A and B are shown apart, each in its own frame.
Chain A
Amino acid sequence: MDYLDGVTILLVVLGLVGIGIYTLMISRSLIKIIIGMQLMVKGVLLAFVLAGRISGNMGLGQSLALTIIVVDTIVAVVALAMAVRVRRRFGTLDPRALTTLRR
């Protein structure tokens, strides 16, 4: 494997996870937050593919990535369902409205 490739992929992984976390912190809509979560997971998927490639077992890396996609979809569905309820109950998707529980 080309060394540069590995580094590039690693940078992409870190970039995706970083952007995802950044989104979680600054976003003003729950939908965007869920997108941020998705971004992070996509980065992780890439990391697994990379790990599989480096350790010489592409198949395993990819099958793990597939499993993660399935699980992540479930989480996303639950999160979206909650977002819908938040919109109905709070009248907004802004996470800054979700501050009734504090101190």
Chain B
Amino acid sequence: MDANMAVIGLLALPFIGAPLTYLADRLALRRGDQPRFGQWIALAILLLSLYCLSVFWFSSPLQQGTWVLVGSVALHWDGLSVLLALTTILLGSAVTLFSGSYLAEEKAHDKYFSLLLLMIGSIIGLGASNDLFNLWLWFELMAVSTYLLVAFYPQEKGSLEAGVKYLVQSAVGSVLILLAISITYTYAGTLQLDGIRARFSDLNSALWVAGVLFVIGFGIKAALVPLHTWLPDAHAQAPSGISAMLSGVVIEAGLVAMLRALMALGAAEIHWGILLMGFGAINMLLGNLLALRQHQIKRLLAFSSVAQVGYMLAGIGVGLAYQQPVALAGGMFHLFTHALMKGLAFLAVGALLYALVLSHRQHTPLTLEDVCGAAQRYPLASLTLAIALLGLGGLPPLAGFMSKWQILVGGFSAQTDASVALMILAGLNSVLSLGYYAPIVNRLYRHQPSEAVLRGNPVPNVMILPLLILSLGILVLGFVPSLMNPINDWAALSVLGLGMH
């Protein structure tokens, strides 16, 4: 299998898998069985995709990336695409492994895995598209599949409400993006990202407006404050596996799409960089402050995602504004580690939620009081949750510390007042975030279990396995952070390289 085949496979596999899983589960349901095969088909598809990705990684000429023509659409595989695909597939596999038992109590979950695969496939495609309209198409496909997944519990008011808000706000974003695309197309006469980029050495007013529309349009998905309002609802109400995907890759996919579009308008690169730095600062501060007083754990984690996006924005913004590949690579690294950590956090909370609430066929949210003393009965779920939370809080030697460190190094290396000030703010925010992560860990390790824990059911081992795998990843990357260097650096160069034509 050569590189070309590998990337075509990578793109095609999820879309082949999606109907297969649906059929398998649907048939099982019709026969009155528990649907079982969908999960394993999806997992097999994802592992195959991972294999394709590794083939591509080891056979492709690095730096320039690879062009693949599918029909008349050209796809460009560069560092950013690979990073996004890797993140999505890894987290997706963990979520797939996790979700089978999690959904066991649901009546109809035949659509779950096929929608999940659709979402994963569209994110992989989004990363590789080299054309503004294609970018939007993949983006929209991803959005539609997540609408259905957020509103997955049709009987739950909260789930529906979150779904509606998410849908309407995303639709507004989608319209803004389309407006921006039409403006860009009017002036550039092409939709190719590098073509647009090559066309302008300076931006006129209309293109500036288009750039701002891109920032806001994609920013809704990327949860820039104040466009983040859909996020806490959707992340908290979705099934935990989907929360993990939403927090771990979907908002990041929005960020990547925004980056791609902005780099097409790269003549104003520095301004976009500064704009993103500004959003980074606001996101960090508000995300952390809003998370500080939350009582529902999933909602708290959702707000913390807003803050974590702030770190990525800070790294990416500094990278663009001051041409710092280190900062940009740091932002990319944080994108990856955040997917691992937040994914783990949501899955671990999901395991507890399953044991304490869902397995009793209830749907109440998991509060801080509920998890008191959970470590007594659920040692592994609690331990992995603690690892994820402390990693998110930036405690070494967990992966989150190392990625934040790289962002900070980038910010300091720029040696400007603004970047250093932003990094100091980031450091302070990291400390602030411990103010809500640490108390959860303390609650987990109480001696006196809460009533919910006393009544809880056991967690199936198959749900624990992905938690352990993700924790291992977080620990290993904490001690050997340079493992991810090649991909991060490549992704950073792909972004800056497009800007340096």
Contact = CB atoms under 8 A, between A and B. Distances in A.
Contact of B186 (A20, A40, A51): A51
Interface in B162-187: 162-165, 167-168, 171-172, 174-175, 178-179, 182-183, 185-186
A50 B154 contact: no
Nearest to A78: B147
A85 B154 contact: yes
A47 B167 contact: no
Contacts of A40: 171-172, 175
B158 A100 contact: yes
Given A74-B144, A98-B161, A100-B161, A37 B178 contact: no
Contact of B140 (A37, A64, A75): A75
Nearest to B293: A103
B245 interface: no
Interface in A21-49: 21, 24, 30, 33, 37, 40-41, 43-44, 47-48
A51 B188 CA distance: 10
A99 to B, nearest CB: 8
A78 B162 contact: no
B474 interface: no
B175 A20 contact: yes
9 contacts: A17-B175, A17-B179, A24-B168, A37-B168, A41-B178, A48-B178, A50-B182, A52-B185, A82-B151
A48 B182 contact: yes
B455 interface: no
Interface of A: 13, 17, 20-21, 24, 30, 33, 37, 40-41, 43-44, 47-48, 50-52, 54-57, 61, 64, 67-68, 71, 74-75, 78-79, 82-83, 85-86, 89-90, 95, 98-101
A71 B143 CA distance: 11
Nearest to B171: A37
B189 A86 contact: no
B8 interface: no
Given A33-B168, A47-B178, A68-B178, A82 B189 contact: no
Contact of A101 (B161, B171, B185): B161
A79 B155 contact: no
A90 to B, nearest CB: 7
B137 interface: yes
B172 A41 contact: no
B175 A24 contact: no
A51 B157 contact: no
B186 A101 contact: no
Contacts of B183: 47, 51
A67 B137 CA distance: 9
Interface of B is mostly: helix
Given A54-B186, A86-B160, A101-B161, A21 B167 contact: no
Given A75-B147, A100-B157, A101-B233, 4 more contacts: A41-B178, A47-B179, A78-B144, A95-B164
Contacts of B236: 101
B470 to A, nearest CB: 28
Contacts of B227: none
B182 A44 contact: yes
B23 interface: no
Contacts of A86: 160-161, 164
A50 B144 contact: no
B164 A82 contact: yes
A89 B155 contact: yes
B464 interface: no
Nearest to B167: A79
A69 to B, nearest CB: 12
Contacts of A74: 144
The residue in A40, A43, A99 that gathers the most chain B C-beta atoms within 10 A of its C-beta is A40
B282 interface: no
B457 to A, nearest CB: 27
Return the 7 tightest CB-CB contacts between A and B, nearest first. Answer: A47-B182, A55-B189, A51-B186, A44-B178, A51-B182, A98-B161, A40-B175
A63 B133 CA distance: 11
A2 to B, nearest CB: 16
B129 interface: no
B237 interface: yes
Nearest to B232: A101
Contacts of B237: 101
Nearest to B156: A89
Nearest to B234: A101
Contacts of B48: none
A13 B180 CA distance: 13
Contacts of A56: 189
A88 B375 CA distance: 40
A40 B172 CA distance: 8
B185 A75 contact: no
A57 B191 CA distance: 12
Contacts of A75: 140, 143-144, 147, 167, 171, 174
A82 B182 contact: no
Nearest to A95: B164
A98 B168 CA distance: 13
Contacts of A82: 147, 151, 160, 163-164, 167
